[in-house]
Chains A and B, each alone.
Chain A
């Protein structure tokens, strides 16, 4: 057979072909017994690579799988063409797991009417997780990035002028993320106990301050982003502890996202109360579009009772920024948010008055950081004071 296509056995065995190439190669395999044999061996080999990264599943997974299996009818033996995923088509068929993964799966669902996604139908809840945020996959990425760009946490504490009680407003918010955290980790299929844990650590990450200890989890390598609080098993269990260490960023990131979603919604409501609702709605839509951007990334900072969260989408060139519990300013002053980049500082927006101002949405170039200054009420075209806070963003 074609020597060139034969070299695709390795790529095929590792699912590294494009869809078109996979189909072509499977046709080729159907008439190339030596390819088929080689693929089988290489799949066997690849499986060994997979076994080498085995992990310990969360205990909740077992009961969920067993329960799900109980709800799923097994295929009848034999198998009509195109039905099952990995059924050999016959002795001369293209390899042991013949109808490749992608095609087979889809044909399986077409043919049986109880397709892959559907058969797991009343999926415990895991599905909700990604969907509800519209940022499931990017969640992990976000979290990983969140820590990377963080710096200068404490500057937030520098009170510009007013003294006043900063804390009160933050409380409404701080109650929220916890609830969100529960919802979130619940949706990863873990029990309520784990949920509490995830919520808690999310809070620690997003609201608990950017101090030393909090940096630990955030600074974790991208590799470690691949895990969740949801996986953390019983506390005290060494494995569970290891998993929890390995996977904190995701939780923190999602909790931060939850925090911001709540903040945006509540902020928009406050906004709406003050101004006409169409404008509020537009603002909310813009916020949500940034939040839902596939490349949305989150950074948080806090000091004392002040908390700030930024979501950045490079693809949209936008940032949604919001702060809670900011120290009150005199009536003739406002907080103004700036992008800080090579070309200087450019206004992102002026924060509303009060301790819980509406989120600010504006443009941000790649690599810019964010600064907040105290300006004359209504804002300035160029900053008239030094930033009281600077905020590095994940790039």
Chain B
């Protein structure tokens, strides 16, 4: 495992066997290496689809978005800069953004409002935990989620897994906007510190 230039840690998915990191693979992908892309797929498709599915909920749409994200990784591999972030973060950031883009499209808006009325606010993290395949990652995240205050945790879960804007989160939790802004940041910082130590 190679240490990234910036960022506190590597997670369990960073290693791709034979000492190859995702960053190594990405360099090969950038040169058009299809077998490297296949290995990249193997490492990232599950996390990408899982995240998109978490946000979008609609399996068909989620698979479509996940496919777009993966092909986008192929298309833009040449532009990837290891000094600016890990491949994993790059991929997950792209996946989350695409999922959120989709969710915020007009068509999805109504559906999302419906979800507010459902139960996501109540036991968000338990739901999240259902779909985990990476046991270690899940355990770390769960443990670290447990170190947040309720409001931090709820805010983070709604914003990240729910795909809500912080305004929507404020509305859902019935707290002032400024409070949500700071809770999102404080919550993530606490998670960062917790995961960093654990990872």
A208-250 CB contact bits vs B (8 Å, 1 = yes)?
0000000000000111011110110000000000000011001
A residues in contact with B68, CB < 8 Å = 116-117, 120
B residues in contact with A40, CB < 8 Å = 6-7, 84-85
Beta-carbon contact of B184 and A139 below 8 Å: no
A residues in contact with B89, CB < 8 Å = 43-44, 47, 96
Task: Report the count of interface residues on B (CB-CB < 8 A).
Answer: 106
Closest B-chain residue to A223, C-beta based?
B127
Q: Taking the complex as formed, is A129 at the interface, i.e. its CB lies under 8 A from any CB of chain B?
A: yes
Beta-carbon contact of A10 and B119 below 8 Å: no
B residues in contact with A42, CB < 8 Å = 185, 188-189, 192
Beta-carbon contact of A137 and B137 below 8 Å: no
Residues facing A in B32-68 (CB within 8 A) are 32, 34, 37-38, 41-42, 45-47, 49-51, 53-54, 56-64, 66-68
Residues facing A in B117-152 (CB within 8 A) are 118-120, 127-134, 137-138, 140-142
Contact A77 to B78, CB < 8 A, known contacts A57-B45, A137-B61, A226-B58 = yes
Secondary structure at the B interface, as helix, strand, loop or mixed, is: helix
Which of these binds chain B: A48-56, A165-173, A379-387? A48-56
Beta-carbon contact of B192 and A226 below 8 Å: no
B residues in contact with A46, CB < 8 Å = 92-93, 96, 160, 188
B residues in contact with A139, CB < 8 Å = 58, 60
Closest B-chain residue to A243, C-beta based?
B59
Beta-carbon contact of A75 and B75 below 8 Å: yes
B residues in contact with A127, CB < 8 Å = 64
Beta-carbon contact of A86 and B130 below 8 Å: no
Beta-carbon contact of A55 and B8 below 8 Å: no
Q: Taking the complex as formed, is A144 at the interface, i.e. its CB lies under 8 A from any CB of chain B?
A: yes
How many angstroms from the CA of A295 to the CA of B60 in the assembled complex?
Answer: 18
B58-90 CB contact bits vs A (8 Å, 1 = yes)?
111111101110111011111101001110111
Q: Taking the complex as formed, is A17 at the interface, i.e. its CB lies under 8 A from any CB of chain B?
A: yes
> Which of B47, B110, B133 contacts A50 (CB under 8 A)?
B47
Beta-carbon contact of B165 and A65 below 8 Å: no
Residues facing A in B184-199 (CB within 8 A) are 184-189, 191-192, 195, 199
B residues in contact with A16, CB < 8 Å = 159-160, 164-166, 169, 184
Q: Taking the complex as formed, is A266 at the interface, i.e. its CB lies under 8 A from any CB of chain B?
A: no
Closest B-chain residue to A127, C-beta based?
B64
Closest A-chain residue to B77, C-beta based?
A74
Beta-carbon contact of A74 and B74 below 8 Å: yes
Q: Taking the complex as formed, is B175 at the interface, i.e. its CB lies under 8 A from any CB of chain A?
A: no
* Of A16, A123, A138, A221, most B-chain CB atoms within 10 Å: A16
Chain B's nearest CB lies how many Å from the CB of A52? Answer: 4
Beta-carbon contact of B118 and A222 below 8 Å: yes
Chain B's nearest CB lies how many Å from the CB of A150? Answer: 16
Q: Taking the complex as formed, is A270 at the interface, i.e. its CB lies under 8 A from any CB of chain B?
A: no
> Which of B57, B84, B137 contacts A51 (CB under 8 A)?
B137
Beta-carbon contact of A75 and B8 below 8 Å: no
Q: Taking the complex as formed, is B156 at the interface, i.e. its CB lies under 8 A from any CB of chain A?
A: yes
B residues in contact with A78, CB < 8 Å = 78-79
Chain A's nearest CB lies how many Å from the CB of B124? Answer: 9
> Which of A11, A49, A74 contacts B32 (CB under 8 A)?
A74
> Which of A54, A77, A187 contacts B46 (CB under 8 A)?
A54
Chain A's nearest CB lies how many Å from the CB of B2? Answer: 15
B residues in contact with A138, CB < 8 Å = 107, 110-111, 114
Beta-carbon contact of B84 and A11 below 8 Å: no
How many angstroms from the CA of A73 to the CA of B32 in the assembled complex?
Answer: 9
> Which of B6, B60, B62, B141 contacts A37 (CB under 8 A)?
B6
Contact A105 to B101, CB < 8 A, known contacts A65-B41, A119-B71 = yes
A79-115 CB contact bits vs B (8 Å, 1 = yes)?
1000011111000000111001110010000000000
Beta-carbon contact of A56 and B133 below 8 Å: yes
Beta-carbon contact of A69 and B37 below 8 Å: yes
A163-188 CB contact bits vs B (8 Å, 1 = yes)?
00000000000000000000000011
Closest A-chain residue to B74, C-beta based?
A69
Q: Taking the complex as formed, is A286 at the interface, i.e. its CB lies under 8 A from any CB of chain B?
A: no
Residues facing A in B154-172 (CB within 8 A) are 156, 159-161, 163-167, 169
B residues in contact with A250, CB < 8 Å = 58-60
A residues in contact with B7, CB < 8 Å = 40-41, 44
How many angstroms from the CA of A61 to the CA of B161 in the assembled complex?
Answer: 22
Q: Taking the complex as formed, is B13 at the interface, i.e. its CB lies under 8 A from any CB of chain A?
A: yes
B residues in contact with A294, CB < 8 Å = 107, 109-111
B residues in contact with A17, CB < 8 Å = 165-166
Q: Taking the complex as formed, is A153 at the interface, i.e. its CB lies under 8 A from any CB of chain B?
A: no
Q: Taking the complex as formed, is B11 at the interface, i.e. its CB lies under 8 A from any CB of chain A?
A: yes
Beta-carbon contact of A222 and B59 below 8 Å: no
10 contacts between A and B (CB under 8 A): A17-B165, A47-B88, A48-B140, A61-B67, A62-B38, A70-B34, A74-B76, A87-B79, A137-B61, A144-B118
Sample of 8 more A-B contacts, CB < 8 Å, known A41-B7, A44-B192, A247-B59: A15-B163, A45-B195, A52-B129, A58-B63, A79-B79, A101-B94, A127-B64, A228-B60
Q: Which 9 A-B pairs have the closest CB atoms?
A: A101-B97, A10-B185, A228-B59, A226-B57, A96-B84, A10-B184, A47-B92, A55-B50, A96-B85
